[in-house]
Amino acid sequence: MKGNILISCMAAAMAFASGVTADAQSQNFKLGQWTEINNSIVKELNRSYVDTLPLDRIMRAGVDAMLEELDPYTIYVPEEENEDFELFLSKTYGGIGAIIHKKVGENVIINEPYAGSPAHKYGLQCGDEIIAIDGVPVKDLETKESSDRMKGKPGTTVTFKVKKVRTGDTLDINIVRERIHFPDIPYAGMLDDTTGYILQSGFTENVSAEVRARFNELKKLGMKRLVLDLRGNGGGLMSEAINIVSLFVPKGSLVVSSKGNTENSLKEYHTTLEPIDTDMPIIVMIDSGSASSSEIVSGALQDLDRATIMGKRSYGKGLVQSIRPLPYNGQLKVTTAKYYTPSGRCVQAIDYSSRNEDGSVGHIPDSLTKEFRTAGGRIVRDGGGITPDVDIAVPDYSRLVYALVLGGVIDQYVIDYARRNESIPAVDDFHFSDEDFEDFIRFAKTQDFDYRSSAKTYYDQMKKELEKDGLADAMRDELTALEKALEMDKERFIRLKKEEIIPFIEEELATRYWFQEAGVKVRLRYDEQLKTALIKPMI
């Protein structure tokens, strides 16, 4: 009997091993088959195709199409795109530190110099026109070519011929490029006597040390409660996310785990540093733009019952990417694992393609998700981002406001304003007056942009559909009456949306005159979602 059992067990083990081996052989065979077919097709095309093959273009198209079948985050980066990829990963580049505005046929306009940047140090300001870069006239250059000429290795010099915005003088200015780093902490300060606030926009190297420093500064100012704002933070280094969580939970706490495609690929990441505060109440703000490392931080603090998460559901990116070198100095950013919060849930969206217009996770029924428990026993679910403990609606803006912002009307007005006004009051005292708004209306009326209301755009689409169906003539009177009711001239619509528009103008003007930190302070002045969070009970 025992012999039969032993033989059965051995047979089962051999069958399992045989199955695994067969699967591996099948996978290897398919890979070899695909490689052989692909090579044969390219060789035959090169030999037989009627025209010269555009090899660079079809190679890139083929690689991109192949990777698109996997997930949205696995991408190929050829050598010529390495610099842009480095900027994407590290938020650093060699240059002068300024945002520019450029149209073909026009000079480069300095839109916004960064505080402390070479552009700022050498006196460039909003509205200055760059006529030439290293002796090359810029009028016929595209925006990217102009930007590329301004960038370069830190320590090198670039020469600009500049027309100053207020004096009209034309000067040659030699600027020494520096390593420019976009700050991961654009602002930190006190919202009231006891509430500290840290806005974190990224997870590049050493941001955890900066969060630690800012936290300690705010604590000295009397902070009794912290708001960590991760709204719009698309993530970055997992190590920095772990280090930020470690600031607020006991040493040795599990923050996140990751698992690849093999049984032994599970890795757990625990805090290794002593915390700076394990008791202070924390609010973490998230939204549909909070992704990756932002979800690691918010998910861990939620699962460990260390913070109250407020806002809207996060993006839903529970994947880990690694960078692999390729021949000819290319790189492959490849998804190598999924990550899991301390409760064991994965925040990756179930379906990559089921996204809202802003890219966030679409509706997922509970039947497709699993239930998990926080350290304190609260229920949390997987399958699509971090669901906040306290859901707070995002303010809705009219279509007109989006048109003014995304169409560049406000941006162009701010440059025009800077040409005519040498200064504005300090940011705490600065408010866009009624007289200023009349000035904006006069400017906006001269600009070409789509100022239709959302209702009018729906009407225009409906009218087209009725015309396709041959019904427009029969409904002419009704359509005419509805169109007349929906019609609104540009000036009237702008006046109607004054309260929506002014905060955007104030923020942009504050940024131009007093830099990014001032712009954030103005934004907080009008942040209704944050104001609501501050009066909500914490969990």
Active site residues: 292, 303, 317
CA 341 to CA 331: how far, in whole Å? 29
What gap in Å lies between CA 151 and CA 154, rounded to an integer?
9
283 close to 226: Cβ distance less than 8 angstroms: yes
Sequence-distant (≥ 6) Cβ neighbours of residue 302 within 8 angstroms = 284, 309, 341, 374, 380, 386, 389
Q: Is 51 left (phi over 0), alpha (psi -120 to 50) or beta?
A: beta
Reduced to 3 states, what is the DSSP secondary structure of residue 424?
coil
Q: Helix %, strand %, coil % for the chain, to 5?
A: 40, 20, 40
- Angstrom CA distances, 102 to 108, 146, 412, 533, stand at 5, 8, 11, 40
| E strands in 385-425 | 390-391
- Dihedral sign computed on CA atoms, order 177, 179, 182, 187: negative
Provide DSSP, 164-207. -TTT--EEEEEEE-EEEE--S--EEEESSSSEEEEE---B-TTH
| Greatest pairwise CA separation for the chain in angstroms | 103
Q: Is the dihedral of CA 18, 24, 30, 32 positive or negative?
A: negative
Tokens of 261: 């495609």
β-pair partners for 95 = 178
DSSP 3-state of 433: coil
